[in-house]
Amino acid sequence: MADMEPAYCRPQSLREKIGQLIVTGFPGTSVTEELEALVRDWKVGNIILFAHNAENKTQLARLCGDLHRLVESGTGCPALISIDQEGGRVTRLPRDAVNVPGAMAIAAAGDPSGALTAGRITAAELRALGINFNLAPVLDINNNKRNPVINVRSYGDTAETVAEYGVQALRGLRNGGVLAALKHFPGHGDTEVDSHLGLPSSGKSLADLEALELLPFRVAIADGAEAVMIAHMMFPNIEPRRVPATMSSVIVGDLLKGKLGYEGLVVSDCLEMDAVKKYFGTAQGALGALKAGIHLLFVSHTPSLVRETVEVIEQAVQSGELPMETLDAALDKVLYYKGKYASGAEAPPLTVVGCETHRKEAAAISDASICVVSGSLDPLRPEETRTLFVGSLPYRTDQASSRVAGDLSFPDVMADRLGGGRMLVGIDPVEAEIDSVLREAERYDRVMYGLFNGSDNPGQLEVVRRLVAAGKRVTAVALGKPYDLEALEGIDCGLAAFEYTALSLDSVARVLSGKVRPAGRIGNVWHR
């Protein structure tokens, strides 16, 4: 492994070694003084980017160049620059880049090569921007419809679907020269708690995980997966110490590295998430993660927590609580992957980012993903303008999701593209709004409602039910969780689009106009 390390990079001091194991982020679209200090004084060697760092592709490429130079001059080693670019609702790249559809939409299109294409597009655009580490694909199985944080980020509710599509996405990223992290081991799909906000716990046994959750990870590891992210979830029937998998040597060491034979890079989820920060403390969580066998630690937002984390690890090594051999093993692993992915391989030109070829490929996947879940679709005729489009603005459903586009509106996009009326309502319409929609709908022959997680905002479902009861022809379009459609009876048509993005709205408009036939299949996600 040592022959893959950058020849000039071999940290010697304890702080230099620890800094190579830390990933942090920063606010804004340019390098901050606090980040410079973390790199210069605390030897932090890796960066994570979020949507707030990306204004446009030119600015982002310039920023990544500055980050690479900052880390290399401050630590003597190249940087892993990471990002959560899953596609769909978890996308960090700016609008002039191509943000591909999300996992469930890709699987609904029914062609695993779409996952390969999405991975290839993403890898090319990331590398052109200077980003070498993507925290994707998601290999969680969404076998719990009430999951608040995974749901449409998963390829589906069966191990076979998740494995088939996840491995194709992995190959697309890897073949494109980007390090890719499977997440969230050993499986975050069957929970009703968001680990950003609480500490999920699963009563599953090892045999339970073996029968379902571990299957996609096994397949991807056999295919050469090089990075795995550990979930902030407790499994008390596997790890009795009441700590999350992040801090469990049983799950990281015995299960992932031992039973599954995994030899690659192991990374934490963000240690500032409440599942760790609230219950254990970020710094102590980081120390526990290193003890458990994790190599790379994400402290993604707060400089003071980065400094505290470095100090806690330093003290643990000096006291003998954390063996130097454990620290050096983690360092060797990080340096190996820096040598492979962060050492100056020629990147594609910036013109690749947002290019027409990528846009057409992403649009084709998106078009193919739209599903008729119930009823049948009667496309709008060109002369038909007596249609009312109703919906709310999107919102950030969880902390994993990207910031929403404030100017994105289902009613406006559809009315502008297709003609007809438009009506914007609140995300959870109250009685007065419901009455307003019913009165306005009297002037129209058809109503098309853009649902956005109606199961969490039942006023949306009530509007649709009342429209149906009033005798209106209603088409409901699920722009988030497709499970919303399960609760509706009597509608003309239920369409699943999986995500509230400009790309998905373009596809919905083409489907409603009859230009695209909705050929997606939702059988691997939900059977009515």
Distance CA 312, CA 303 (A): 14
Q: Which two tokens stand for residue 186?
A: 């050993």
On whether the CB atoms of residues 252 and 215 are closer than 8 A, the answer is: no
Calculate mean pLDDT across residues 424-442: 96
Cβ-based burial of 519 (10 A; exposed 0-12, middle 13-18, buried ≥19): middle
Give yes or no for residue 22 having a pLDDT over 70: yes
Residues whose CB falls within 8 Å of the CB of residue 185, separated by 6 or more in sequence, listed in order: 139, 217, 228, 229, 230, 231, 245, 251, 256
Residues whose CB falls within 8 Å of the CB of residue 474, separated by 6 or more in sequence, listed in order: 446, 447, 448, 449, 464, 467, 468, 490, 491, 492
Alpha-helical runs (H) found in 130-213 = 159-175, 206-211
The CB density around residue 346, as the number of other CB atoms within 10 Å, is 7
Percent of the chain with pLDDT over 70: 93
For the structural domain made of 31-343, what CATH number should be given? Answer: 3.20.20.300
Q: Which two tokens stand for residue 351?
A: 């013109």
Distance CA 401, CA 88 (A): 9
The domain ranges of the chain are: 31-343, 370-512
Alpha-helical runs (H) found in 320-457 = 324-341, 356-369, 410-418, 431-441
Distance CA 163, CA 260 (A): 15
Beta-sheet pairing, 493-496 with 371-375: antiparallel
On whether the CB atoms of residues 441 and 474 are closer than 8 A, the answer is: no
Q: What does the pLDDT look like over 84-123, one tens digit per residue?
A: 999 999 999 999 999 999 999 999 999 999 999 999 999 9
pLDDT tier, 6 (very low <50, low <70, confident <90, very high otherwise)? low
Q: What is the overall mean pLDDT for the chain?
A: 92
Q: What does the pLDDT look like over 317-374, one tens digit per residue?
A: 999 999 999 999 999 999 999 999 998 778 899 999 999 999 999 999 999 999 999 9
Distance CA 129, CA 423 (A): 39
Lowest-confidence pick of 97-101, 194-198, 487-491, 502-506: 194-198
Beta-sheet pairing, 473-478 with 296-298: unpaired
Name the nearest CA neighbour of 161 among 210, 211, 117, 107: 107
- For CA atoms 332, 132, 188, 164, give the dihedral sign: negative
Of the two residues 197 and 310, the one the predictor is more confident about is: 310
208 catalytic residue (yes or no)? no
196 catalytic residue (yes or no)? yes
Calculate mean pLDDT across residues 227-255: 94
Catalytic residue among 196, 232, 295, 358: 196
Catalytic residue among 140, 157, 269, 492: 269
Q: Which two tokens stand for residue 210?
A: 């073996």
pLDDT tier, 251 (very low <50, low <70, confident <90, very high otherwise)? very high
Q: What does the pLDDT look like over 47-56, one tens digit per residue?
A: 999 999 999 9
Q: Helix, strand, or coil here: 520?
A: strand
**Long-range contacts for 39-43 (Cβ within 8 Å, ≥24 apart)?**
39/70, 39/71, 39/74, 39/75, 40/74, 42/15, 42/306, 42/307, 42/310, 43/11, 43/13, 43/15, 43/16, 43/18, 43/19, 43/74, 43/75
Encode burial over 4-25: b for 16+ CB neighbours within 10 A, e otherwise: ebbeebebeebbbbbbbbbbbb
**Predicted pLDDT at 7:** 54
- Give the DSSP letter string of 437-464: HHHHHTT-SEEEEEESSTTTSHHHHHHH
Q: Does domain 370-512 have CATH number 3.40.50.1700?
A: yes
On whether the CB atoms of residues 474 and 456 are closer than 8 A, the answer is: no
* Residue that has been written with the tokens 């050492």 in this structure: 343
User: At CA 273, angle to CA 267 and CA 276, rounded to 5?
Assistant: 80
The CB density around residue 33, as the number of other CB atoms within 10 Å, is 8
